[in-house]
Chain A
Amino acid sequence: MSITSFPFLLFFAVTLGVYYILPLRFRWSALLVSSLLFFHFSAADYTIIYAAGAVLVTTLCTRGITKAEETGAGKKARLWLILGLAVNLGILATLKYSGFVIGNVNFAAGLAGSGLRLPQPDLLAPLGVSFYTMSVAGYLLDVYWGICPAQTDIFKTALFVGYWPQLTSGPITRYNEVRDQLYEGHRFDPRQVSFGMQRMLWGIFKKLVISARLGVVVDTIYADTVTYNGFYIWVAAVSFLFQLYTDFSGCMDIILGASECYGIRLPENFRTPFFSRSVQEYWQRWHMTLGAWLKDYILYPVLRSGAWRSLTRWTRAHLGKKAAKQVPSILGMLCVWLLMGLWHGGTWGYIIGWGLWFWLCIASAQVLDPVFKKAIRLLRINTECFSWHLFQSLRVFVLAAIGNMFFRLRGFMETLHVIRAGLFPDNPEIFFDGSLFSLGLDAPDFIAMVVSLLVLLAVSVLQERGSVREQIEKQNLVFRWVVWYALIFGILIFGMYGPGYDAADFIYRGF
């Protein structure tokens, strides 16, 4: 069940109605039942075993950790933690990466001249496994570190793991952030429900009007990079970045909006990332919950670890103070980025292409920062004006567009090949001779796409100043209704949905 489909809207309306009809104290159970229904409608039923296993193990382990800590048995608590993490991460690794590992073993065996051919497993991962596993791992660590108490009710743990809005594409939630909201039950607040629905509409607009159109252009170009080379490659790279953003953030808007209707505020995943002035800032505004999770649960523990402290000491002794500050953190970031790549999928394109690219961008910015500052001083560049900010944002955009080519094409060598096809473009005429209209969208559709991107830009500018919905709320009723009708009919008329289209799934739904 796609979250932009009519059955989903029906499902949502019914579950929302039931949620507010039930007494406050039972409302969380309505959420649990609706999550089970959502799972049933959206994934193969048997895959729920994995999710149920995660719930069971997590409940047992968090109880074990709490009991062990109460009795002062630190080692036992650690064992419970390791068990919990091993089972949850083990399920994730088996379902998502066994194919990758076996593929590489077979490849290596082939290189070594061995006849070893391990069969590829045919495992179906449950809906949202990458997202809920991260949430669960974070929860286990939080309980172990004493940041939050363990949930003793297995059904409530099940709701935390399987709360349906976050099953599609996240966000990765922290138990501490959502536990009260999930279980306490919320009174019907018309304003909140309206706000939630408005956000859902905006998300659907992003997905069906913008992302789906961009997807046509991207698919056409990447399907035949021999014909579509030179500037076409850059058109595809830029289009894909916008597609990815509107797809993923659109999905988040629908999910967060739906959750808001229940009165539950899930953490934000995007904050106008294209206004970032550095790649580092970009990653603080893009898929924020994953970045924050990796920072809190991987980067900081790694930097605090004994091995890293030794590394810092060694660097200080041999390379100096400055290097001692930078080298360990850059190496720590390398671990994070490789993991980030791995989390996105079991291909080398993600790991050493996408992950390494962004790590290189961030690390080089950090290392070369003094050089850049010196150059800015020498060239007497005014860094406090719009043009400089625009240049910075465009620079980030281009770097992100290149990095995400690895994301889109997945294969490392394939991506390098495509980048090479676009390296020395000699076909600027495509922008003037109507060639762009041969990419699957005719002129009116292309115009619709450009106009909707301008609308997106305008909304993003407004978002930088605060909540757009609150700004609209302050306007007169007629204006407000005109805005919402325009959005609804914008989707209904210009959206790429319905029987004539192959509804493309959300890009992050596969994770």
Chain B
Amino acid sequence: MIKERKKLKLLTYTLKVLCFCNMFLILFFCITKILVNPETNMDLRHYQWIRGFFAEPADSLDAVFIGASHVYSSWVPAIAWKKYGIKIWPLTSAALGGDYIKSIIENIRLLHKDALYIVCMNSFLYHTYWPGIHRLSDYWPKLYRLKMIFNQYSDGLVESSDITEYIAPLMRFHDRWNQLLKEDFHYKIDGMKGGSSYELFLDGAKDVSTTFYDTSKRKEIDQEALATLYEFLLYCEKNSIRVLFVGSPWCVSEDEKAMVNYVEDAILSKGFVVINLQNYLDEIGLRPEKDYYDDYHTNIHGALKITDYLAQYLLDNYTFPEKTGGGYESWDEAYELYSEVIRPYLTEEELAWLQLSVTEDK
């Protein structure tokens, strides 16, 4: 009798502990979501690019465009869909280094098995540091996040001492309690399929013509970065991953351009396909006086041109599934939404190209 009572007591206690822990986890995830909120982070964009990607149905994308800020400032997904009928998602994060690209593809390739992976090769010049890792991993769905973090850990990209902050980002961002906004408690995917809508991109312009030059020089990248690149190429080869490397046109130092050329050579030497947009400036029609918002990034005008050129290149060189029947409403809607966002900023020529009417309210 006493034994049974003891057993019952222990069982009740265990149940209570389980309920307590369960409730704790629910509260923990809610609070984490509020405090590690992209709005608080002034980084809602990353939420759109990453969460939006995972909201897409499996095997529904034609390609995934992976890379740092060059990607989101040069690729306009909704326009590519409307004009060329291809669904290419910009899975991107600011300052994303080449060291994380393998890990990203490892994590998502089962989601979009036949997709083409377009990789911005400029990323291989850099390493990802902690804000970049957070921007990337914090918005990944929980199980994917764990998988990704452990992949990164096994690849030596994350130190064991830092792993907890990536698993539980509250560790890093808990002190945002004093910056909370009303929006932190309610936010959602904007439906623009990763189209950039930040002010600088839409309205910014910088004349970069004085630094806008080309070079055919080659400059070695550091050995660690080169090893990362080769490891990634080997991974793609082993796993038969369809991959295209794209070089972004930018106006930075000669050294950095020379390093991109070096990366291009290294990739070509392993038999992969590269299109270095830096070499097709005239074909793209980029105007250094008007199509950039800073030395690194094109604005909406430059992005439309790059999207147009790259999309055409992709259609000419790759085969994508036929888009017949329904099921593309969300992409059509994305175009409607996004065209409304960019319309006030477009030139007459661009509006005509997109068959949009002029609006006055900019």
Interface of chain B: mostly helix, strand, loop or mixed: helix
Does A119 sit within 8 A of B, measured CB to CB?
Answer: no
Within the complex, the shortest CB–CB distance from B5 to chain A, in Å, comes to 14
Q: Which residues of B contact A445 (CB under 8 A)?
A: 178
Q: Determine the distance from Cα of A448 to Cα of B175 in the docked complex, in whole angstroms.
A: 11
Per-residue CB contact flags for chain B residues 160-182 toward chain A (1 = under 8 Å, else 0) read 00101100001110110110000
Q: Are A442 and B171 in contact (CB under 8 A)?
A: no
Does B31 sit within 8 A of A, measured CB to CB?
Answer: yes
Q: Determine the distance from Cα of A495 to Cα of B175 in the docked complex, in whole angstroms.
A: 8
Does B281 sit within 8 A of A, measured CB to CB?
Answer: no
CB-contact partner of A444 in B162, B170, B178, under 8 A = B178
Q: Are A481 and B27 in contact (CB under 8 A)?
A: no
Number of A-B contacts (CB under 8 A): 45
Does B42 sit within 8 A of A, measured CB to CB?
Answer: no
Instruction: Tell which of A80-88, A139-147, A486-494 binds the partner.
Output: A486-494
| A499-B171 contact given A190-B13, A485-B23, A493-B31, CB 8 Å threshold | yes
Within the complex, the shortest CB–CB distance from B128 to chain A, in Å, comes to 15
Q: Are B177 and A498 in contact (CB under 8 A)?
A: no
Q: Which residues of B contact A495 (CB under 8 A)?
A: 174
Does A6 sit within 8 A of B, measured CB to CB?
Answer: yes
CB-contact partner of B170 in A190, A442, A485, A492, under 8 A = A492
Q: Are A481 and B171 in contact (CB under 8 A)?
A: no
Residue of B nearest to A501 (CB): B175
Q: Which residues of B contact A481 (CB under 8 A)?
A: 20, 23
Per-residue CB contact flags for chain A residues 404-421 toward chain B (1 = under 8 Å, else 0) read 000000000000000000
- Number of B residues near A (Cβ < 8 Å) is 21
Interface of chain A: mostly helix, strand, loop or mixed: helix
Does B35 sit within 8 A of A, measured CB to CB?
Answer: yes
Within the complex, the shortest CB–CB distance from A94 to chain B, in Å, comes to 34
Q: Are A500 and B172 in contact (CB under 8 A)?
A: yes
Within 8 A of B (CB), among A457-503: 481, 484-485, 488-489, 492-500
Residue of A nearest to B16 (CB): A477
Q: Determine the distance from Cα of A278 to Cα of B321 in the docked complex, in whole angstroms.
A: 85
Q: Which residues of B contact A500 (CB under 8 A)?
A: 172, 175
| A498-B174 contact given A481-B20, A485-B23, CB 8 Å threshold | yes
Q: Are B174 and A190 in contact (CB under 8 A)?
A: no
Q: Are A485 and B27 in contact (CB under 8 A)?
A: yes
Interface range for A: 20 to 34
| A493-B23 contact given A499-B130, A499-B162, CB 8 Å threshold | no
Does B280 sit within 8 A of A, measured CB to CB?
Answer: no
Q: Are A494 and B177 in contact (CB under 8 A)?
A: yes
Q: Are A442 and B165 in contact (CB under 8 A)?
A: no
Q: Which residues of A contact B172 (CB under 8 A)?
A: 498-500
Q: Determine the distance from Cα of A448 to Cα of B174 in the docked complex, in whole angstroms.
A: 14
Within 8 A of A (CB), among B7-44: 9-10, 13, 20, 23-24, 27-28, 31, 35
Q: Determine the distance from Cα of A175 to Cα of B226 in the docked complex, in whole angstroms.
A: 62
Q: Which of B20, B31, B35 has the most CB of A within 10 A?
A: B20
Q: Determine the distance from Cα of A445 to Cα of B179 in the docked complex, in whole angstroms.
A: 11
Q: Which residues of A contact B31 (CB under 8 A)?
A: 489, 492-493
Residue of B nearest to A494 (CB): B177
Q: Are B27 and A489 in contact (CB under 8 A)?
A: yes
Within the complex, the shortest CB–CB distance from B2 to chain A, in Å, comes to 14
Q: Determine the distance from Cα of A115 to Cα of B170 in the docked complex, in whole angstroms.
A: 58
Q: Which residues of A contact B164 (CB under 8 A)?
A: 6
| A498-B171 contact given A445-B178, A493-B177, CB 8 Å threshold | yes
Within the complex, the shortest CB–CB distance from A418 to chain B, in Å, comes to 30
Residue of A nearest to B130 (CB): A499
Q: Are A493 and B165 in contact (CB under 8 A)?
A: no
Q: Determine the distance from Cα of A500 to Cα of B177 in the docked complex, in whole angstroms.
A: 14
Q: Determine the distance from Cα of A444 to Cα of B176 in the docked complex, in whole angstroms.
A: 11
Q: Are A488 and B35 in contact (CB under 8 A)?
A: no
Q: Which residues of B contact A444 (CB under 8 A)?
A: 177-178
Q: Determine the distance from Cα of A498 to Cα of B130 in the docked complex, in whole angstroms.
A: 13
Q: Which residues of A contact B165 (CB under 8 A)?
A: 498-499
Residue of A nearest to B162 (CB): A499
Within the complex, the shortest CB–CB distance from A39 to chain B, in Å, comes to 20
Q: Which residues of B contact A442 (CB under 8 A)?
A: 178
Q: Are A493 and B13 in contact (CB under 8 A)?
A: no
Within 8 A of B (CB), among A432-453: 442, 444-445, 448
Residue of B nearest to A191 (CB): B13
Q: Determine the distance from Cα of A481 to Cα of B16 in the docked complex, in whole angstroms.
A: 10
Per-residue CB contact flags for chain B residues 28-72 toward chain A (1 = under 8 Å, else 0) read 100100010000000000000000000000000000000000000
Of all A-B residue pairs in the complex, the 7 with the closest CB atoms, nearest first, are: A444-B178, A190-B13, A498-B171, A6-B164, A493-B177, A499-B165, A493-B174
A contacts, CB < 8 Å to B: 6, 190, 442, 444-445, 448, 481, 484-485, 488-489, 492-500
In the complex, besides A448-B178, A499-B162, 11 extra interface pairs with C-beta distance below 8 angstroms are: A6-B171, A444-B177, A481-B23, A485-B24, A493-B35, A493-B174, A493-B177, A495-B174, A497-B174, A498-B165, A500-B172
User: Can you list 26 A-B contacts with CB-CB less than 8 angstroms, sorted by A residue number?
Assistant: A190-B9, A190-B13, A442-B178, A444-B177, A445-B178, A484-B20, A485-B24, A485-B27, A488-B24, A489-B27, A489-B31, A492-B28, A492-B31, A492-B170, A493-B35, A493-B177, A494-B174, A495-B174, A497-B171, A497-B174, A498-B165, A498-B174, A499-B165, A499-B171, A499-B172, A500-B175
B contacts, CB < 8 Å to A: 9-10, 13, 20, 23-24, 27-28, 31, 35, 130, 162, 164-165, 170-172, 174-175, 177-178
